[in-house]
Amino acid sequence: MIASLEEATVDMLIDADSRQWNPNLVDGIFAPEEAALVKEKSHCKSGCKFLKEEAKVQTLADLESQDIGLWKGIWALKVLNNVKNHLWRACQNSLPTKTNLVHHTIIANNICDRCHGAVETVANALWECPKLDVVWNDAALWDFHFTSEFVDFKHLAAWIIAHQKNSEMFAMLAWAIWNQSNKEFKSVQPIPLPPVVVPRARWKPPSADFVKINVDGVVFPDENKSGIGVVIHNHQGQVLASQSLKLHQAYSPGVIEAMVVHSGITIASNIGFHKAVVEGYSKVSMTVLQQGREILTPDGLLIEDIRLSSTLFTQLHYSHTKREDNKVTHSLARYVLHVSDAIVWMEDVPPQVVSVLRADLANIH
């Protein structure tokens, strides 16, 4: 017996013994045409499927509502905008942690460089790593750090904001941890190189709402290795990210020219940029990508991969530049001889190429 239709649910129409619709209840509640349609779903399996779909829709609606609440909570924090943006990117899992870099085939090792024991996720990098206990050990502020478990960093941030557990301080500390401890993702310490001084160059910045992805590649036939260098700038010339990536094979010039572009747009997309100009030294590759024509060569599949990856951007343009106008990426590509895998620097370049960077950017107006 259903006491109130206002509070009735679909499962009340299913007979517990027969596991089918209860025809008397269906006929008593619905109009004849509607009842006939309901009873066409004669098996409980169909009814259960209906219930599961109904629950799924409700769950998705609840999750969307929770996300909206979290985003509003983040942007309402009384902290600097770059701190809010960092927290938002962390909740979106768009920080270039080692797990994300492995997922995008940028590096091969996803183990945390601090504790050397856990996989480096966003939660590990900002909260869970034992080496961070010194940051979160104030019981008066973070008493839940050692007593509560969270599904991921997004769940943690949502809980802190919802319960008003020092949200602004949490955001600031997470931002500070990332910028201090995760400027480098590396497998080994690089061997120091003497600084290189080069003449002034003619690098040109992108427009204000774009980033510029400069790429270069070098082949080392004697070592059977190749190197990729990437640097991402904003319109003011500031470095947003840079990379040295070693490839354990000496690729042909055509292949390496395509691989450097693919690596550059992969990093930019992983960080969260959606408007970019890719600039490289290979006029052939840049022209092919601009024109969008099919390539029937060994590097044709790589070109198609680049075009597929470009769909992650709202706008993506290609530009050719002379190698002497883009010394930073060339230096980063050669730098791979001193690392075993890959290094990604956030908002920085290695000390050995700082002078090269300054020369590249010397005459920005």
pLDDT digits (tens, 9 = 90+) for 181-215: 655 444 444 445 555 554 444 678 999 999 999 99
As a whole number, mean pLDDT of residues 160-168 equals 91
**C-alpha span between 231 and 344 (Å, rounded):** 10
Q: Scanning the structure block, which residue is given the tokens 């092919």?
A: 288
Residue 242's nearest CA partner among 85, 350, 356, 82 is 350
Q: Are strands 184-185 and 342-346 parallel, antiparallel or unpaired?
A: antiparallel
**What confidence score (pLDDT) does residue 361 get?**
77
Domain with CATH 3.30.420.10 in the chain: 211-360
| Other C-beta atoms lying within 10 Å of the C-beta of residue 243 | 29
**What confidence score (pLDDT) does residue 122 get?**
92
Fold of 211-360: Nucleotidyltransferase; domain 5 (3.30.420)
Tell me 114's DSSP state.
T
Is pLDDT above 90 for 31?
no
Identity at 25, one-letter amino acid code:
L
Q: Summarize pLDDT for 35-49 with one digit per residue, the tens.
A: 777 666 544 445 555
Terminal-residue alpha carbon distance, the chain:
80
**What confidence score (pLDDT) does residue 126 get?**
92
**What confidence score (pLDDT) does residue 220 get?**
92
Q: Are strands 211-220 and 275-280 parallel, antiparallel or unpaired?
A: parallel
Which of 38-52, 75-89, 121-135, 145-159 comes out lowest in average pLDDT? Answer: 38-52
**What confidence score (pLDDT) does residue 275 get?**
94
Dihedral pair phi/psi, residue 235, rounded to 5°: -70, -15
**C-alpha span between 25 and 16 (Å, rounded):** 13
Is pLDDT above 90 for 114?
no
**What confidence score (pLDDT) does residue 160 get?**
93
Identity at 67, one-letter amino acid code:
D
**Torsion angle, CA of 118/270/82/137, rounded to 10 degrees?**
-10
Mean pLDDT, rounded, of the chain: 80
Tell me 191's DSSP state.
P
Is pLDDT above 90 for 298?
no
Q: In percent, how much of the chain has pLDDT > 90?
A: 26
Residue 216's nearest CA partner among 361, 319, 331, 307 is 331
As a whole number, mean pLDDT of residues 225-237 equals 93
Count of all residues that appear for the chain in the document: 365
Is pLDDT above 90 for 218?
yes
Inter-residue contact 98 to 185 (CB < 8 Å): yes
Exposed / middle / buried, residue 93 (Cβ in 10 Å: 0-12, 13-18, 19+): middle
Q: Summarize pLDDT for 247-292 with one digit per residue, the tens.
A: 989 988 888 888 899 999 999 988 889 999 999 888 877 787 877 6
**C-alpha span between 266 and 104 (Å, rounded):** 7
Which of 24-28, 155-159, 331-335 comes out lowest in average pLDDT? Answer: 24-28
Inter-residue contact 331 to 197 (CB < 8 Å): no
133-165 exposure pattern, b = at least 16 Cβ within 10 A, e = fewer: eebbeeeeebebbeeeebeebbebbbebbeeee
Residue 217's nearest CA partner among 285, 307, 274 is 285
Please state whether the predicted TM-score (pTM) of the whole model is above 0.75.
Answer: no
As a whole number, mean pLDDT of residues 140-161 equals 89
**C-alpha span between 351 and 302 (Å, rounded):** 32
Which of 62-76, 166-180, 186-200 comes out lowest in average pLDDT? Answer: 186-200
Binning pLDDT at 50, 70 and 90, where does residue 331 land?
A: very high
As a whole number, mean pLDDT of residues 151-177 equals 91
Residue, of 223 and 197, whose pLDDT is higher: 223
Is pLDDT above 70 for 51?
no
**C-alpha span between 161 and 364 (Å, rounded):** 42
**Residue 234, token pair as written in the block:** 């904003």
Inter-residue contact 208 to 275 (CB < 8 Å): no
As a whole number, mean pLDDT of residues 321-341 equals 86
Is pLDDT above 50 for 143?
yes
Residue, of 89 and 44, whose pLDDT is higher: 89
**What confidence score (pLDDT) does residue 283 get?**
80
